[in-house]
Amino acid sequence: MEDYHKPDQQTVQALRNIATRLRINSIKATTAAGSGHPTSCCSVAEIMSVLFFHTMKYRPEDPRNSNNDRFVLSKGHAAPVLYAVWAETGYLKENELLNLRKVDSILEGHPVPKQQFVDVATGSLGQGLGAACGMAYTGKYFDKASYRVYCLLGDGELSEGSVWEAMAFASYYQLDNLVAILDINRLGQSDPAPLQHHVEKYQRRCEAFGWHAIIADGHSVEELCKVLSQPCHQPLAIIAKTIKGKGIPAAEDKMGWHGKPLPKDMADSVMKELQSRIVSSSKRLYPAPPSEDAPPVSLRNIRMPSAPSYKTGDKIATRKAYGMALAKLGRYNEHVIALDGDTKNSTFSELFKNEHPNRYVECYIAEQNMVSVAMGCAARDRNVVFASTFATFFTRAYDQLRMAAISESNINLCGSHCGVSIGEDGPSQMGLEDLAMFRAIPTATVFYPSDGVSTEKAVELAANTKGLCFIRTSRPENTILYNSNEDFHVGQAKVVYKTNDDHVTVIGAGVTLHEALAAAEQLKKERINIRVIDPFTIKPLDSKTITENARATRGRIITVEDHYYEGGLGEAVCSAVVNETGFTVHRLAVSQVPRSGKPQELLRVFGIDRDAITQAVRKVLSSSTNAK
């Protein structure tokens, strides 16, 4: 540490004063709110003071500047101390802190990106480090810039497996621009954390995961200044031994104070005592400005260079069409990147990797971390991010997905191998809940393309659509249905088969759309005409096209989907037509946990193949005849 310059006494005192003011403002804000986590804020006051007023380089008047060092508060419940920091920089007005948790204030109970100084929402514990990994990976390998990434974690969240997925990712990719500070304050919410104050055990764990780990006194400004300026050729973990509730005599290192504001009289006397510790100092500390070396990035207008090159009648699996489309999109847009969880030869993201190896990030079998890394890579609009795995494996990252929505994150996810149509691998590999899962997320757009052309269009549209985008792809090869010049839009369905005298409207997607078209040909021989609709996006669903066409078939609708009954295409259609009089919806879907078998056998066994559709059409028609 030859180049370490010890801070002078005035700087040390100024940093201590800031830490004391952070405690005062955290107590004041939580007492005014009548809720919050003052003791969790007090354990990190010195850490926050040193980080923001000695270590980090950033422009306080421009928190989202692309050159700034990044900070992620993984222990999101300590939000008041983060707000106190930004009041200390002058970015927030100090009296605004008294509006903490109020319905008309941006200072919510946990950090959210409507605050300009927050990149990703936190508060569901164990997720901040994964996002920080995405930011650090972007800084080192894509931006090739000098900004650094700091992540503050609590000791309670170190029980989350996702933290250790992130630890493994960071060391594997040698993210030497990443610093994790572990606030080891011993106490969780209802019990002490499992390792309590055994800081050397934390150190050994971090070292086992390939990090350089240093133990420090988390309340010593001098020690923190020193360890935070340590040059390092691997990710750095600072294991800060702290006391929960430090500075609040009645609560220091005591159980029973988590998430409890101080009563007003106690808060007043504690703040008065803390105020008396502030030593007047003429020195005012300002953050150092960052190096201006992050390249300008524009993510506007990410377009395909040409129309799809498929011929109608050709056969291709939509999962392969996804890989081809992604590689093509990346050819003319250098900020498109792809992540995968060791399934790239199944999702076909390997086609992107083969063409653009430097923009492909292998996340291995750690789907929770993959989604968090995707969020970090997308933060501050540095990249257009696509992440892929089997549709069913996104279920284990659902908490990360809902936090991505709260984070206002723009990420694109492709889930392949959906439904029973994957065949022999059996139910553990079949995505049958994914539509329900993504439909429930407020910011999500759900694409379900049925051929190569619509898959390529879905990829292009997803790249330009805000929020979470999910593209559901299938394993079997299916016929190309659309001309390459066909126009696609989010929320616009396609009528793919119709006559002037149709009896029933059938809505299918992916594999089941092709079954519906086969059923239409079969029924034509019996002089029964059906109209077939491809919804293209399940959310938003094109209610107008569905309603208008169903009206032409006297309100008779059949939906058929390779998904469970709950939360999928059928329920989406029911919601769309619920207020229409004289409409009936007959739903075909997978009704129980499936099994192994050949794809066509399983479609038959679970009643979603062409024969099941023709049967359902006959049944719907005979029951309406009987009704007459």
> Known catalytic residues?
367
Structure tokens at 329: 């999109």
Q: How far apart are CA 166 and CA 477, in angstroms?
A: 36
Note whether 287 and 58 are within 8 A (CB).
yes
Q: Which amino acid appears at position 580 of this protein? A: E
**DSSP per position, 206-220:** HHHTT-EEEEEETT-
Q: How far apart are CA 74 and CA 153, in angstroms?
A: 5
- Report the 10 Å Cβ neighbour count for 586: 17
Contacts of 557 (CB under 8 A, 6+ apart): 504, 505, 506, 507, 546, 550, 573, 577, 583, 584, 585, 586
Q: With both helix axes pointing from N to C terminus, report the angle between 264-275 and 9-33 in degrees, rounded to the nearest 10.
A: 170
Q: How far apart are CA 321 and CA 326, in angstroms?
A: 8
Q: How far apart are CA 150 and CA 444, in angstroms?
A: 29
SS3 state of residue 538:
strand
Q: How far apart are CA 500 and CA 524, in angstroms?
A: 13
SS3 state of residue 340:
strand
504-508 and 530-534: which strand pairing?
A: parallel
Q: Which of 209, 196, 201 is nearest to 255 (CA)?
A: 196
Q: How far apart are CA 573 and CA 579, in angstroms?
A: 12
Q: How far apart are CA 300 and CA 463, in angstroms?
A: 10
Q: Which of 161, 162, 181, 165 is nearest to 173 (CA)?
A: 165
Note whether 152 and 73 are within 8 A (CB).
yes
